[in-house]
Amino acid sequence: MNDVQVSNPFGDAPKQTTGAVVATEQAKAVAEVQAALLIARANPRDPIRAMDRILHDCMRPSLAEEATYQFPRGDTIIKGASIRLAETIAKRWGNMEAGIKELSRANGVSECLAYAWDYETNYRDVRTFTVRHWRDTREGGYALKDERDIYELIANNGARRKRACILALVDGDVVDAALAQCKVTQEAKVEITDERIAQMLEHFEAYGVTKVMIERRIERRIDQITPAMWLSLREIYNTLRDGVSTPGEWFDMPADDPAANVAARAKRSRTSAIKSRMKARRTSRTRSDAGPEADRTGETGGDSAVSANVPESAVTYAQIADAIREAATPEALDAAADQIRGIDDEAQRTELEQLYSTRAGELDEGDYRNGLSERCGGPL
């Protein structure tokens, strides 16, 4: 009798190798990390040499121009190292890795991870975040479908987390020294020309910021911009480019809402009233201190009467700036502003007057408006 063998219908199916592939990739990743840690331990960084390389990089004008950012938060302006400077510090500091990864994507949302890993100390800083595939516009926004747009959106959002991870690993003294060197490089290389002004205006136009808006912020014509104002605008542009802030936080952007237009006009009117009141108070105070002779000088010399009677014991620029920032009432603010006339540098006086105007607007709206109305003898 012949034996009959029934063939297995699954006998020719390929064997499952997924588990083996996963195990191999995991072993490879572990080996790479172990090798990096061992190499970092065997070749520790030289902090002196690393610091010299960082400072040398910060002497490059191209890096110094993009090294800092600033954005408003409440009553203060936050400044710090940009992602470009953080990446340069990480590269020169050595024995560390930083990056951004997209972990998953579903329903128009990407779950991402930003990290920085110091192989020498084996310390990691990890930030997880989600990015919605959506771009806001003045018309309401729209969903992103193009792969390149999604990639750029994730990279833009991840850059800030990556910077935070890098700065969490690097010593604060290293970052402070790099920022100080970048500031020195900027001040030494500030060269304001008509061509550079045109380039700056073109860069800001990409974010809807016009020449009029910039002149309104610096309170002078664009061709009269000072180096300090130039550096400040450059930091604002870096902030807008990195997505840290929006143009509306720095400039008086046009609004479709009539109430917003009224509020903007009221703010500008209040600023003009503040300046006029401060100028009148300074002139009156100086003439009263100097006597009739100052009055006669003021009739022909204009503002020269103010600068001619600066007291010898005038306080410093930093002391006046701190007093203006810490003023909690309009009276305290006015007392601090009275000391501005004792500053010899015109650029510093201008900056203090701008700080005075900003601080006055930050005080309580109702109390300040009532107090100003009484001092001006009528409603604003």
Residue extents of the structural domains in the chain = 30-177, 191-249, 260-376
The two tokens of residue 331 are 């009276």
Amino acid at site 168:
A
Q: In what order do the strands lie in the sheet with 123-132?
A: 96-106, 109-118, 123-132
Among 273, 274, 252, CA closest to 263: 252
Q: What is the pLDDT of residue 131?
A: 94
For each of the chain's 380 residues, which pLDDT tens digit applies? 555 666 666 555 555 556 777 788 888 888 888 888 889 888 999 999 999 999 999 988 889 888 888 777 777 777 889 999 999 999 999 999 999 999 999 999 999 999 999 999 999 999 999 999 998 877 778 899 999 999 999 999 999 999 999 999 999 999 999 999 998 888 777 778 888 889 889 989 888 889 889 888 888 888 888 887 888 888 888 888 877 788 888 888 775 544 344 444 444 444 455 555 555 555 555 554 555 444 444 443 434 333 333 343 447 877 887 788 787 777 777 788 888 877 777 777 777 777 777 777 666 444 444 444 444 444 44
For 233, other C-beta atoms within 10 Å of its C-beta total 20
Report how far residue 295's alpha carbon sits from residue 174's, in angstroms, rounded to the nearest whole number.
55
3-class SS at 24?
helix
H/E stretch holding 183:
helix 172-189
Amino acid at site 296:
R
- Which long-range contacts does 95-99 make (Cβ < 8 Å, 24+ apart)? 95/40, 95/43, 95/44, 95/45, 95/119, 95/120, 96/120, 96/166, 96/169, 97/36, 98/162, 98/165, 98/166, 99/162
Length of the chain: 380
- Which long-range contacts does 237-243 make (Cβ < 8 Å, 24+ apart)? 237/200, 237/203, 237/204, 238/66, 238/68, 238/69, 238/82, 239/69, 239/70, 239/71, 240/207, 242/69, 242/82, 242/83, 242/156, 242/159, 242/160, 243/156, 243/157, 243/159, 243/160
Supply the pTM of this predicted model: 0.52
